[in-house]
């Protein structure tokens, strides 16, 4: 299926199990949108990036508004800001359709329910480097209001 209008075509590496388009999101900036149906409980894909220390991650988080960092452990984090993986554009939702899972040092995404073509893939960010100071714009019923 061709990318949707306004979508950025992205080559799909082997670890990206389902096609995802990157395009403008009503939630924030760019988003990751399903380009094919994704059944519940299936791996959608993963993100790869630069491995850094948690100390460096926290410094970088203070220097940018758009934080693309996941802490893997108390000592290790991954910065996705320069990654070409489309899942790096996964936005937060207080009622997500996917979950982020850290497995063997990899950041993977799994559908928590069926995701239809054109749906934005979202996860609950949980605790963030924003420490509750960033307004949540997910628009979901019961939105917590902040990240």
State the CATH architecture for 20-48+87-123. Beta Complex (2.170)
Q: Are strands 122-123 and 91-92 parallel, antiparallel or unpaired?
A: parallel
CB neighbours of 127 closer than 8 A, spacing ≥ 6? none
* pTM, two decimal places: 0.84
pLDDT at res. 1: 46
Q: Which residue has the tokens 């019923």?
A: 141
Q: How many angstroms separate the CA atoms of 35 and 20, rounded?
A: 5
What does each of the 147 residues of the chain score in pLDDT, given as a tens digit? Answer: 445 555 555 556 778 899 999 999 999 999 999 999 999 999 999 999 999 999 999 899 888 777 788 888 899 999 998 998 999 999 999 999 999 999 988 899 999 999 999 999 999 988 776 777 888 999 999 999 988
> If residue 35 lies in a helix (H) or strand (E), which one and from where to where?
none
pLDDT of residue 8: 54
What token pair was written down for 112? Answer: 């928590």
Strand spans (E) along 25-146? 30-34, 43-47, 50-53, 69-71, 76-79, 91-92, 98-103, 106-111, 122-123
**pLDDT for the residue numbered 68:** 87
pLDDT confidence of residue 63: 85
Q: According to the model, what pLDDT value does residue 94 have?
A: 95
pLDDT at 37: 98
Which tokens sit at 28? 């924030």
Give the per-residue pLDDT at 23: 97
Residue ranges of domains in the chain: 20-48+87-123
The pLDDT assigned to 66 comes to 76
């Amino acid at each position: 299926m061709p990318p949707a209008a306004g979508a950025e075509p992205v080559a799909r590496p082997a670890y990206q199990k389902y096609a995802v388009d990157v395009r403008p999101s009503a939630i924030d900036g760019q988003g990751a949108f399903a380009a094919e149906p994704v059944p519940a409980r299936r791996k959608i894909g993963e993100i790869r990036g630069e491995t850094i220390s948690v100390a460096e991650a926290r410094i970088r988080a203070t220097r940018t508004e758009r934080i693309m960092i996941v802490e893997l452990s108390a000592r290790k984090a991954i910065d996705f800001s320069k990654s070409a993986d489309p899942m790096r554009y996964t936005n937060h939702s207080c009622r997500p359709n996917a979950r982020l899972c850290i497995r063997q040092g990899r950041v993977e995404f799994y559908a928590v329910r069926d995701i239809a073509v054109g749906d934005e893939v979202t996860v609950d960010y949980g605790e963030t480097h924003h420490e509750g100071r960033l307004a949540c714009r997910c628009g979901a019923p019961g939105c917590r209001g902040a990240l």
